[in-house]
Amino acid sequence: MPIDVRSTAVTLGALGFFVLGLVGWLNGLCPIVCCKRALIGAAAAYAVATVAARAVNAILIDAMAARQAEEEMRSDNDDGN
């Protein structure tokens, strides 16, 4: 079953934003610096998650298509004999 790309990427981007903001805050950075770094990190996490989810979907769809083709070949060979 293919992965929902947008919801996965948004979830990981939001998680990245809060984690990076918290890390910056715990290291004593001022709030605007934390926000900027967290926003850039969240955008990067969103982009990476989008590419990764699309790659996983392509692999899953290819595997499902190969399986379907294999089952059709088997049923054609069984019917022909």
Which domain, by its residues, includes 21?
5-80
Number of folded domains that form the chain = 1
3-state secondary structure of 64: helix
Q: Given pLDDT bands bounded at 50, 70 and 90, which one contains residue 71?
A: confident
The reported pTM is 0.77
pLDDT of residue 78: 73
> Given a cut of 90, is residue 79 above it in pLDDT?
no
- The tokens for 8 are 């996965």
- Give the CA radius of gyration of the chain: 22
Q: Using one digit for the tens of pLDDT, what is the confidence trace for 10-66?
A: 999 999 999 999 999 999 999 999 999 999 999 999 999 999 999 999 999 999 989
Enumerate the H helices of the chain as residue ranges: 5-26, 31-80
